[in-house]
Amino acid sequence: MKRINSKQEVIELTIPFGRSVEKPQGGVHMRIRVVHVRYFNESNGFAILIVRKDFSTKDITIKGSFEDPCEGAVYDIDGEWVEDKKYGKQIDVKFARPTMPDKADGIRKFLGGGIINGIGESLADRIVDKFGDKTLEVMDSNINMLLAVDGIGKKKLKDISESWKSFNGNRESVIYLLSLGVSLGYAAKICKKYGKETISTVKSNPYILIDDVDGIGFAKADSIALNMGFDVKGDKRLRAGLVYTLTQASYDGDCYMERKNLVTSASEVLKVDKELVAKSLNGLISDEAVNDNDGAIYLPTYFYDETSVAKKLVMLLNASAKSISLSEYFWKSGNITYDDIQKEAINKAMVSKVMVLTGGPGTGKTTTINGIIKAWKSVGMEVLLAAPTGRAAKRMNEATGYEAKTIHRLLEYTPNFGFQRNENNPLEGDALVVDEASMIDIELMFRLVSAIPANMRLLLVGDIDQLPSVGAGNVLRDIIASNVIPTVRLTRIFRQAATSRIITNAHLVNEGKMPEKDNGVKSDFFMMNNDDYLRIEDIIVDLVTWRLPEYYGVTTDDIQVLSPMRRTNNGIQNLNHRLQQAINPIGDSITYGDTIFRIGDKVMQLKNNYDNGIFNGDTGKIVDVDKAHRTFTVSFDSGPTVDITSKMMKDICLSYATTIHKSQGSEYKVVVMPMTMQFFTMLQRNLLYTGITRAKKVCVLIGQKKAIAMAVRNNAVKKRNTLLKERLISESKK
C-alpha cells in the first residue's frame, strides 16, 4: 500500500458514497464491495477480487495489495484501469482503505471476528440471518431485539450489550485504524487489546502490534507506520526490521544470523543504508532485545532454548543411574534374534541416561526399540512413548503395542496455560522413548528436556538422512555430530527388508545412486517415465482412482500423492483439484477462496491450533457440512472432531496430495510421487529419500529420469545456523 497524505484523505472522504471519480492521468476512485475472492496470497497480501460498485450489478475485477479480503468487505480504492491479457479490463489498486460494513456479508464477518464478547461466528450468522443489512442499526437503537435470535437469553444479551457499548466507545479508534489501511478484522483485534488507549498506543509505536496482536507481522505494522508518516530511517522502524529479518531466518531453520548477513538482509528489507541498520542493531544488543554470541545474533528465545537444551542433556547424561546387566534368559526369551549392533543398542540403553538410535528403513529400528522397551520393563521400569505428530505417535503405538502420545499431549499442553509438564512439574516415569526425533525443532526440544527429571532415561530415535525439522534448529543431527551423546547407528539391511525394492532403492538414493527400475508384477517399486506434465496429471488420477486400487486391493484412502511443491502442473494445488473431481465430485460443500470443501474430502491442518487440539500436519476427513453457518466438521486421525469455522478455513487444505515436507512422520500403504524438472529448485537427495521412505507397500515415481537423477546428485543440503553441537561439546568439558 502506498503512503497517503492528509490532503489526499480529505479529498477522498468528500467523494459521495457509491460514486466513482475519474482522476487525472487515468486514475479512478470508488467505493466497492467484494463479491468474490478469486485469489489471495497471504504471505504478500496480493489479491484478485471480483467487486461491485454500490447500486450496481456489474462485476469489476480488481487486483492489488489487500489485508484479509473477504466477501462482503467494503473498501474505498484508489487505482487505475489496466488491460490484463487473461482477465481483460481491470483496476490496478494503488491504495485500499477498508470501511465499516453496511451490508449483511460484511456485518457477518465483522461480528464474527471476536470484537463483541459473547458473539462468535455461529451466533453472528444467526443474528445477521435475522436482521440482514439492518443488524448494526438494530444493535445501536434497540439491542433488546436480539432476544429474538436463537441462543441469546437475558444473560447473553447483557454481555453483548455491555461489549457493544464498549465498542461504540472505541468506534473512533476503529475508524482511525481503517483510515490507515487496517482491515476491519485487525482493527477489531487491536481495539480489543488496547481499548481506549488504542489511538495513543498506535501513534506512539505501531511496531508494538507485532508482539501484541496475533496475525500482525512486520509488513502490516510497517504499512500502518508509513501511512501514519513515520520516518523511514527512524530507530523504531529499523529495530522492528532487524527483529523481522531474524524471525524470517528462523522460518528457514536458522537459530541465528551472522552479524554481517543480518545487517545486509535487514537493510535490503528496510531499503536504508547498512550503517544506520548496524547502529540500531547495537542498540538492540545493548538493550538485550537480541543476543550477540561472538557475532552470531540470536532472538532471545532461540538463544535460551539452545543453551538450555545443551545444559540439560549433559546434566541428564551425567546424572547417576543404576547400570543394569541383562541375563541370558532375556536374550533367549521370545522368538527374536538380535544382531550384534542391536544387542549393543539394547545393552547401551541399560547403562546410558541419554542415547540416540538412528538408522534408515529396514535396519531394524522397530525391533531394537521393542527390545529396549522389553529390557527396561523386565527390570520394572515405567516407560513413556512419544512422537512429534499424531500420525507418528499412532505408528509407534501400532509397532510397540504400548500407548504413544504426541509430545504436546505428553507435556499436557493447554491453550490457556501452555505446557503443564515442565521443570517444576516434571514427567513421571523411568524412561522416555521419542520417535521421529529428526522432526523436533529447538523450541520443542527445550520444552521436552525441561520436563524430564534427573532420574529418567531418554532414548531419541530418528533418521537424520530425512528432511530436517520445519522449525528452527537441526537438533538430532547436532546431537549426533557432537559425539557427546552415546549413539548407535543401525546399518545392516535385514534379509526380509532386502527383498523390498522400496527399502533397497531408498538406500541407493541415500548413497547417491539412481534407484533401480523394476516394474515387474511382483515389484513394490515402479518408475514411469513421462515428459508431458499434463499427461502426468492424467496418469496420477488414473493410478489413484482405479489402477492401483484394482491391482493391489487398496482404497483411495490408502494412497497418498506426494509432490515436492505446491504450485506447477504437478504441484499439490492442481493435483488436489484434479483428484477431488475424480474421487469426490458431488455432495454438500463450502467454497473458501478457490478451494471447495466437500463431505468425504481428505484434509490437512496447516498450522498449530492449540485451542482445538489440532496441529500442523494433522490429517482427517470432512464428515459434515453446515452451509447455513458456513462450517464443516473434520474427524482428525489424531483423535479430535472439530468444527471448522470460516476463520479457520485458511489453515485447512485438501490432502489427496500433500508436500513431501508435510509427509514427515507419516507412513502410507501406497505413495505416488511426481518428479519433474518443474520442481528443479526443490530436487534434493534428502527430499527424494524422505518421499520414498513414506511408502509401506508400493511406491510409484512418475516423471522425468533426469529430474530423479538431479535429485540423487544434489546432496547440497542448506546448512542451518545452529550452535547446539558446539554448546554440547563445551558443556561436556565443564
Instruction: Determine the Cα angle at 80 with ends 78 and 86, to 5°.
Output: 125
Residue range 598-609, pLDDT digits in tens: 999 999 998 888
Q: Taking 60 as the threshold, does the pLDDT of residue 1 lie above it?
A: no
What mean pLDDT is predicted for residues 142-166? 88
Residue 534 CB contacts under 8 Å (≥ 6 apart), including other chains: 569
Sign of torsion over alpha carbons 221, 224, 228, 232: positive
pLDDT for residue 72: 67
410-442 per-position pLDDT tens digit: 999 887 788 999 999 999 999 999 999 999 999
Give me the percent of the chain exceeding a pLDDT of 90.
50
C-alpha distance from residue 432 to each of 205, 269, 429, 456, 481 (Å): 46, 44, 8, 7, 22
| Per-residue confidence (pLDDT) for residue 3, from 0 to 100 | 33
Closest by Cα among 517, 256, 495 to 363: 495
Sheet holding 559-563, edge to edge: 525-529, 695-703, 668-675, 559-563, 657-659
Going from the C-alpha of 90 to that of each of 36, 93, 719, the distances in angstroms are 15, 9, 44
Q: Are 559 and 698 in contact (CB under 8 A)?
A: no
Grid cell in block for residue 450: 525441561
For residue 25, pLDDT over 80 is answered with no
Looking at residue 498, what is its pLDDT? 62
Question: If pLDDT is split at 50, 70 and 90, which confidence band does 85 have?
Answer: confident
- Residue 125 has a pLDDT of 86
Top-confidence range, 74-83, 509-518, 702-711: 702-711
Q: Are 722 and 296 in contact (CB under 8 A)?
A: no
Of 462-466, 514-518, 533-537, 674-678, the least confident: 514-518
pLDDT score for 7:
30
Task: Residue 325: count other Cβ atoms within 10 Å of its Cβ.
Answer: 9
**If you average pLDDT over residues 360-364, what whole number do you get?**
88
Q: Which three cell numbers stand for residue 562?
A: 506426494
| Average pLDDT of the residues of the chain | 87
Q: Does the pLDDT value for residue 14 go beyond 50? A: no
Distance of CA 404 to the CA centre of its chain: 23
Q: What dihedral do alpha carbons 571, 577, 579, 580 form, nearest 10°?
A: 150
* DSSP symbols for 157-219: HHHHHHHHHHHHHTHHHHHHHHHTT--HHHHHHHHHHHGGGHHHHHHH-GGGHHHHSTT--HH
Residue type at position 623: V
Q: What is the C-alpha to C-alpha distance for residues 665 and 389, in angstroms, rounded to an integer?
A: 7
Burial class (CB in 10 A: 0-12, 13-18, 19+), 140: exposed
pLDDT higher than threshold 50 for residue 237: yes
- Angstrom distance (rounded) from CA 139 to CA 429: 56
pLDDT grade for 114, boundaries at 50, 70 and 90? low
Tens digit of pLDDT for each residue in 497-523? Answer: 667 889 999 999 999 999 987 766 678
Task: Give the pLDDT band of residue 396 (cuts 50, 70, 90).
Answer: very high
Q: Look at residue 115 in the predicted model and tell me its pLDDT.
A: 66
**Integer Cα distance of 593 and 26 in angstroms:** 30
pLDDT at res. 497: 61
Instruction: Enter the pTM of the model.
Output: 0.79
Give dist(CA 444, CA 324) in Å, integer.
Answer: 31
Mean pLDDT across 204-228: 88
